[in-house]
Amino acid sequence: MAGLLVIGDAVTDVVALHRTPVATGTDTPADIAVRPGGSGANTASWAAHLGADARILTRVGYDTGQWHISELRAAGVRPHASVDPAHPTAVVIAMVDASGERTMLTNRGAGGHIGPADWDDALLDDVGLLHISGYTLFAEPGLDLVRRAVRAARGRGVPISVDPASTGPLRAFGPDRFLRETAAATLIIPNRDEALLLAAGDDALPLTAGDGALALASRDDTVARNAGDGTLALTAGDDAAAGNGERDQSGGPGAVERAAAALSARYGMAAVKLGAAGAVLAVGGRVVHRAAAVPATGAAGIVDSTGAGDAFAAGFLTALLAGRPAPAALDEGCRAGAAAVARLGGRPPSRPPAL
């Protein structure tokens, strides 16, 4: 199997699991744990856990950097990590409620200073896929790094996937700008809210519905080349396209499916994560598969949703690299996500020590 190179953050996660609502101005009992995390590092670690030759390009801080490098190696990841002498490692305080939903406070620390100087074209040796965590784009040095990495990947014919990361910084960065900066990718892996945000941008495909089809009228040259005649349609009789009764803001059915289709017309493929509702796969402007939800694999059910999307991406990408068809890969992504929510923190179980 060709390697997976991830560009993204390694983060110190402080996870606070509280079973009652947070009480403002006083104490709220919680189980608190410190774990290695970060979207990019989580994805690389889950990919290695699932059998991929996973590598990561990241930047860690002077305080806990060596611990993060050791944890990545213990997970089976090949880390290419520079230690920033002036900044601490990124920290996220994740407050997780009784349902497993999380609220995060973030300081990107050293991760916000990764840049072109961290890149070497040799990182692409034996790599079959370059995966970019969207957080990397949201600071100028990281954006310059991504541009350089993308040029190198395209020069070698290495396909590129991208995870938009989070709606807050994505909205601040600009959905249209994100679409432009990641135009070279052939696969996007957003969650529901990110997909809707990106598809609703000024430069995104306008979505219309009528006459038995969900039509996507293209104003984008790239999409027009993919579509041929500039119009992509999803057959209304398709169960996946019908959206299981989900409605968009205008009252039409299948907002998520239409967003997935629009993004796949732009990128080629879109795998939209729907959490407990499973996932949707669209290829070339058409929804082709909807994966059912997979129950959390642990006896305690959903413990912590931190890293579930990262695990999904790892399961999906690892299956694709192994030659699995995209619909089967989507199912593998859902299984990996179900395994992740049954654990506290965003990483897979530790590997047993080598004999």
Q: What is the pLDDT of residue 296?
A: 67
CB 312 within 8 A of CB 279: yes
Q: What are phi and psi of 205, to 5 degrees?
A: -70, 130
Q: How confident is the model at residue 235 (pLDDT cuts 50, 70, 90)?
A: very low
Rounded distance between C-alpha atoms, residue 110 and residue 126, angstroms: 28
Residue type, position 247, single letter: R
Give the pLDDT score at 303. Answer: 65
Segment (H or E) for 184: none
Confidence of residue 217 (pLDDT cuts 50, 70, 90): very low
Task: Specify whether the CB–CB gap between 337 and 294 falls below 8 A.
Answer: yes
Q: Please give the average per-residue pLDDT across 54-78, as a whole number.
A: 97
> Residue with structure tokens 């059912």?
292
Is residue 289 within 8 Å of 327, Cβ to Cβ? Answer: yes
Of residues 15 and 279, more confidence is placed in 279
CB 135 within 8 A of CB 35: no
pLDDT value of position 334: 95
Residues 197 and 169: beta-carbon distance below 8 Å: no
Which tokens belong to 293?
């939800």
Contacts of 241 (CB under 8 A, 6+ apart): 214, 234, 235, 254, 257, 261, 286, 287
For the ranges 29-38, 61-70, 203-212, the maximum mean pLDDT occurs at: 61-70
How high is the pLDDT of residue 233? 28
Q: Give φ, ψ of 17 to 5 degrees.
A: -95, 105
pLDDT at 98: 83
Supply 80's token pair. 């290419």
| Distance, CA of 311 to CA of 254 (rounded, Å) | 25
The Cα 238–Cα 320 span in angstroms is 24
335: which 2 tokens? 């299984």
Q: What is the largest CA-CA distance in the chain?
A: 64
Mean pLDDT across the chain: 84
CA dist list (Å): 349 to 22, 39, 50, 128, 304: 29, 16, 11, 25, 14
What length is written for the chain? 355
- pTM reported for the whole predicted model: 0.83
Q: What b/e string do you get for 304-337 counting C-beta neighbours within 10 Å, with b at 16 or more?
A: bbbbbbbbbbbbbbbbbbeeeebebbbbbbbbbb
The SS3 assignment for 183 reads coil
* Edge-to-edge strand list for the sheet holding 102-107: 31-37, 11-17, 90-96, 102-107
Q: Which is it for strands 231-235 and 54-61: parallel, antiparallel or unpaired? A: unpaired
| pLDDT number for residue 91 | 96
What are the phi and psi torsion angles at 30 (to 5°)?
-155, 150
Q: Identify the helix (H) or strand (E) that includes residue 259.
A: helix 255-267
Confidence of residue 198 (pLDDT cuts 50, 70, 90): very high
pLDDT digits (tens, 9 = 90+) for 277-318: 899 999 999 999 999 877 766 555 666 667 899 999 999 999
